[in-house]
Amino acid sequence: MRLGGSLALAHIISEPVTLDYLANSAGLREFFPAHFTQGKRRRRFKMDRERVVKCLRDYNEKMNAPSRVMESIDSLLDEDTYVVVSGQQPGVFSGPLYTVYKALSAIVISHRLSHDGRRFIPLFWNASEDHDLSEVDHIYLMEKNKPCRIRYPIKGASRSAFEVKLDLREIKKVLEKIEEITPQTEFKEDILKNLEVLARQSENLGDFFSRLLLFFFGHHGLVLIEPRILRPLMIPLFEKMIKNPLRSTELVNRAAARLKKRGYSPRIHKTPHLCGFFLKRKKVTYNGKFLVGGKSFSSRELLQWLEENPFDFSSNVVTRPITQDYTLPTYAYVAGPSEIAYFAQLGEVYQEFGIEMPLIYPRFGATILENKVAKIIKKYGLAIPDLRSPASAIKKLLKEELGPVFARARDDVSKVLLPMAETVGQIDETLGDSFQASEKKIFREIDSLEKRAVRCLRKQNSLMELQIYNAAENLFPLGDLQERKINVLEYRIKFGHDFVEVIHREFSSSNYGEHRVITFPG
């Protein structure tokens, strides 16, 4: 049985909009101005490239980015250089594997697009203004074939990631836990030391995330940025939001209605009075006046506030991509499956702000298959998707062992009973009814006996059950995709820096959106 290759997207993606977008379905074309399969378009951007480059340089220099990153940034002064963006809110120690896969996808796609005199630079948007910290304050690593949740405690009220000051004592506790549960390898000591050094250099969670991604991918020229660094460039955009405060909500809800008519479930639902921006991370509503945290303001007051304190303003889920693509020469955005469904509602919002929506590319994905897990799958003749439901896989294997025996028994009983049924039915119709009831009871007894036999066989096959459940936890921890739970340190500690480079090579030869099964050691 061959275990490499890729997994069918139907096993990976549950979002119908995304599946249809990847198939370039005609029913979705009105929602996306162009499709990533249609080839490259020439584009011109109106922003002040010198100001953009200065913001990017200042930030990446502060993060100690390598020279390859600075060279990438400087190339953006050329009108024929664009960015391929991906992004994510900053997770402690980089969060789940899909963050790493997003960064690598931007790197690979940039390289593929760069020819014919045009250059494409990978850029990662560190969404450090997000404040759903419960999603980013922990990582999962495997401990004795079970996912272990390691949490970095964040004290205080809901805050944005860039406001969360790093507590080095707590970071050291997390590193000690990582050291405790991960295997001893030749790479482990250096990796943990590097993580501590990066943490010491970082002021907050957003900083730490950027430094970590630069440490992983800086040699590939990946540029990092946080949205607040570009806030002064966004002022005209926020002015437009203040002057027409409900327009973005109206347009995204209109797209939702159109999607519903086509049988899709929209991802974004906004109440009609909700504005497209936050003030000090508080929701803003409008009904003749702006209401923020119980206080009301006029348009003039908010415009003055914006002029004096632009950093108090930030975008919401609808306008976040707009602020990104207003300030950067974004040719393409690399999206996860859920993000693609969000973009289906944003086409008219882009038009409203006079911005061309970037091409939306699906990120690459991967399931890491360690040799010890591959052996179990081969031993029992399973397919990787079978392990998403290990109980069903075990039941199926046991039924395959006992099933033919009981199937023959049912067939034999039916053959014996058939002439008897005909005879008693001819004697008296009521006897025929009684016979049918007796027949059903016989088959219920056979079903019950089969279930008891399966339970006994499971007890006798406890090793098989343990191995299958262990394999399932490795590939689908907590019942979810591996890339959505496990942190990259699980594999960097086992396989070293080569782990990321192997993934990079695999993605470089993958189709867009493909989910690869990658065996380690290879």
The predicted pLDDT at position 227 comes to 96
Contact 350, 320 (CB under 8 A): no
Mean pLDDT computed over 425-432: 68
Residue 394: both structure tokens together = 């075990």
Res. 2: pLDDT tops 60: no
Res. 1: pLDDT tops 50: no
The predicted pLDDT at position 454 comes to 72
Mean pLDDT computed over 182-210: 97
Contact 271, 316 (CB under 8 A): no
The predicted pLDDT at position 37 comes to 92
Assessment of whether the complete model's pTM goes beyond 0.85 = yes
CA 477/CA 473 separation, integer angstroms: 4
Contact 159, 133 (CB under 8 A): yes
pLDDT band at 426, cuts 50/70/90? low
Question: For 151-166, what is each residue's pLDDT tens digit?
Answer: 999 876 567 888 889 9
Mean pLDDT computed over 372-397: 93
Contact 339, 357 (CB under 8 A): no
Question: For 48-68, what is each residue's pLDDT tens digit?
Answer: 999 999 999 999 999 999 999
Helices (H), 218-286: 235-243, 247-261
CA 110/CA 86 separation, integer angstroms: 11
Percentage of the chain beyond pLDDT 90 is 77
The predicted pLDDT at position 162 comes to 86
CB-based burial label for 516 (10 Å; 0-12, 13-18, 19+): buried
Look-up of token digits 């969360």: 164
Look-up of token digits 């040799």: 371
State whether residue 457 is helix, strand or coil.
helix
Residue 175 main-chain phi, psi, to 5 deg = -65, -35
Res. 30: pLDDT tops 90: yes
**Mean pLDDT lowest for which of 113-117, 128-132, 511-515?**
128-132
Question: For 340-353, what is each residue's pLDDT tens digit?
Answer: 999 999 999 999 99
CB-based burial label for 322 (10 Å; 0-12, 13-18, 19+): buried
Please count the residues of the chain. Answer: 522
Residue 517 main-chain phi, psi, to 5 deg = -105, 115
CA 151/CA 81 separation, integer angstroms: 40
Bridge-based pairing state of the strands 330-335 and 81-88: parallel
Question: For 319-342, what is each residue's pLDDT tens digit?
Answer: 999 999 999 999 999 999 999 999
Look-up of token digits 């030869």: 509
The predicted pLDDT at position 419 comes to 75
Res. 421: pLDDT tops 70: no
CA 281/CA 132 separation, integer angstroms: 11
The predicted pLDDT at position 403 comes to 63
Helices 498-508 and 97-113 sit at what angle, rounded to 10 degrees?
Answer: 50
Helices (H), 361-428: 371-379, 390-427
Percentage of the chain beyond pLDDT 70 is 94
Mean pLDDT computed over 495-499: 94
Q: How many helices (H) and strands (E) does the chain have?
A: 19, 15
The predicted pLDDT at position 366 comes to 98
Bridge partners of residue 124, in order along the sequence: 86, 224
Residues of the chain by 3-state class (helix, strand, coil), percent to 5: 55, 15, 25
- Fill in the amino acid letter for 175: L
Res. 362: pLDDT tops 70: yes
Please give the mean pLDDT across all residues of the chain.
92
